[in-house]
């Protein structure tokens, strides 16, 4: 079992930055692929970013490439999402998720999910 707790959300003006954190507890954090997802009101949850066991392995949805960066600290069992150049369309609840399978993370089929943290970007 893995428990995930997100933090770092909030209200920010367009063009601003936020850094989300996801603290994991449980076993073998370093063996999990970690992902960030988001769900805006009235929309389906969507994939944002993923990071494999190796920090060199990352994936992003097109709309955040060049603005968001996912990273992880295996020693602290934490994954981060640095969000720069925020836009009003980035407003959503952001979820952290984990799976042992990279394909599953890319397709939102994660085994473990956090409770989410709200990000609101004002224009």
- pLDDT (average), residues 8-17: 98
C-alpha dist (Å) from residue 60 to 1, 2, 3, 28, 75: 26, 23, 23, 24, 24
Q: What is the pLDDT of residue 29?
A: 86
Q: What is the pLDDT of residues 48-60, one digit of tens each?
A: 999 998 767 999 9
* pLDDT band, residue 30 (cuts 50/70/90): confident
Q: What is the pLDDT of residues 64-105, one digit of tens each?
A: 999 999 999 999 999 999 999 999 999 999 999 999 999 999
Tokens of 89: 């369309």
Cα atoms in the 13 Å half-sphere on the side-chain side of 99: 14
Q: What is the pLDDT of residue 42?
A: 95
- pLDDT (average), residues 17-25: 97
**Does the pLDDT value for residue 27 go beyond 80?**
no
């Amino acid at each position: 079992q893995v428990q995930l707790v997100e933090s770092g959300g909030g209200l920010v003006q367009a063009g601003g930055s936020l850094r989300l954190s996801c603290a994991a507890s449980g076993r073998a954090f370093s063996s999990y692929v970690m992902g960030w997802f988001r769900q805006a009101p009235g929309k389906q949850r969507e994939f944002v970013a993923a990071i494999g066991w190796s920090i060199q392995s990352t994936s992003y949805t097109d709309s955040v490439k060049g603005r968001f960066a996912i990273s992880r600290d295996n020693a602290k069992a934490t994954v981060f999402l640095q969000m720069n150049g925020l836009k009003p369309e980035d407003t959503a609840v952001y979820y952290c998720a984990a799976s042992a399978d990279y394909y599953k993370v890319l397709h939102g089929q994660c085994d473990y999910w956090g409770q989410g943290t709200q990000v609101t970007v004002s224009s």
